[in-house]
Amino acid sequence: MQNQFLRWRALWHPEMYHGWGRAKNYFEGWYFKLVDPGGKHVFAVIPGVSYGQDGQAHAFIQVLDGIHCKAYYHQFPIEAFQPNAAKFEVQLGQNFFSALTITLDLPQLKGTLTLAEQHPWPKMLGAPGVMGWFSFIPFMECYHGVVSLHHTLQGTLEVGGTAVDFSGGIGYIEKDWGVSFPKSWIWMQSNHFSADKPMSLMASVAHIPWLGSHFIGYIVGFLWEGKLYRFATYTGAKMKVELGERQVKLTFFDRRNRLEITAHPAPGANLLSPISGQMTGKVNESMQAVLETAFYQGNTLLFKGKGINAGLELAGTVEALAGKSR
C-alpha cells in the first residue's frame, strides 16, 4: 500500500521518483542539460535506474559531452540510488540531484551547481504534466516529464580537472520512466536563441503502442515572451514531419498558432537506452544541432530565429513518423 501511495503522489509530481516497488521491466532517468555562458562546455548528465526482465538491477549516471561528442556510462549498485519519498531529490553515491541543486563527483565532472529562475511545465486540472491526460493511463510504454524548461546556473565544475565557471549559463531538465523507449522517435531541444527573455523549445514525436495497435504521438513546448505554447496529441493540434537528406522539418499547428522547426543534425555520441528496463539499446544524440524556428499566430510571423546548442535524437525508423498528419 505504501508503494501504491508513493506512485499515486508522484503522478501529480512528475519530477519525483515513480518506481516505488518496481523490481523488473522498469527504468527511470532524469536529463540535466548544462551549458556554460560561452557555450564552450555543453553537457547532459543523466542519473537513473534499470530493472531488467530477470530482476537484475543497477543505478547509473550517463554523461554526454556535447562538444567533444563523447559519452560515458557510470554504473552503481542499486542500493546507491536513494530517492526522497517526499520531494524530488536523488542521492546516487556521492552525487546529488534535485530541481534546485546538482552535485557531481564523476571523473568527467566534479562540483556543485545551483539552479535558479526555473520555468516548470505548468500543472493543470486533468493534466499533471507534459503528457496531459495520458499521464493517467497505466499501460503506457514510456512516460515523459519536463521538470524545468529553462533555468540559470550558478557555480563551478571541474571539467577534466580544470575549473570552469558555469555561472550565468543555462540549464534544462526532463525525465522518462516506464518499460522501454519507443520503437522510433524524434526529439529536439534548445534554450539558446537570440532573445532578451528566457526561451525554450522542446519537441518530441514518437511511435506509441496503444491497445494492440499504435499511433504517432507528439508533445511540444515553446516558451516565448514569458508564455508557454503547447502543441500535443491531447490538445488536438495537428502535426507534419518532413525528412530531407540533411534536415528534419516538423510543423505543428492548431486553430490559432503554427510552429515550424527545421532541425539540422550534427555529430553526436551514443547513449544507452532502455529496452524492457535493461539499458541495452543505443541512441545517438547530438548537442550541436541547430533548430531554425518560426512561430506564427494566424498568418502573422511573431518569431523567427535559430536555437543552437540543441539536443537532437533521430531514433529507430523515423521514416514511419513522416507524412503523418493527425
Percentage of the chain exceeding pLDDT 70: 99
The pLDDT of residue 125 is above 90: no
DSSP designation for 122: P
The pLDDT of residue 217 is above 90: yes
Q: Are 272 and 279 in contact, with CB atoms under 8 Å apart?
A: yes
Q: State the pTM of this model.
A: 0.96
> Which residues, listed in sequence order, are joined to residue 124 by a DSSP beta bridge?
127
For 292-315, how does the pLDDT look when each residue is reduced to its tens digit (9 = 90+)? 999 999 999 999 999 999 999 999
Count Cβ atoms below 10 Å from residue 283 Cβ, excluding itself. 17
Count Cβ atoms below 10 Å from residue 282 Cβ, excluding itself. 12
C-alpha distance from residue 53 to each of 179, 216, 247 (Å) = 10, 27, 37
Residue 266 sits at φ, ψ, to 5 deg, of: -145, 170
Domains parsed from the chain with CATH numbers: 2-321 (2.40.370.10)
Residue 7 sits at φ, ψ, to 5 deg, of: -70, -35
* Cell output for 253: 499547428
Q: Are 28 and 15 in contact, with CB atoms under 8 Å apart?
A: no
> Which residues, listed in sequence order, are joined to residue 51 by a DSSP beta bridge?
26, 57
pLDDT the model gives residue 324: 42
pLDDT the model gives residue 323: 56
> Which residues, listed in sequence order, are joined to residue 159 by a DSSP beta bridge?
109, 162
Q: Are 249 and 290 in contact, with CB atoms under 8 Å apart?
A: no
Looking at per-residue confidence, does 244 or 64 come out higher? Answer: 64
Average pLDDT over residues 166-194: 97
**Alpha carbons 39 and 58: distance in angstroms, whole number:** 33
The pLDDT of residue 133 is above 70: yes
pLDDT the model gives residue 325: 40
Residues 6+ apart with CB under 8 A from 306: 193, 194, 290, 291, 292, 293
Looking at per-residue confidence, does 323 or 317 come out higher? Answer: 317
pLDDT the model gives residue 124: 87
The pLDDT of residue 326 is above 50: no
DSSP string, 106-121: SSSEEEEEEEES--PP
Furthest-apart CA pair in the chain: how many Å? Answer: 55
DSSP string, 126-151: TBSSTTGGGGG-TT-SEEEEEEEEEE
Percentage of the chain exceeding pLDDT 90: 90
The pLDDT of residue 148 is above 90: yes
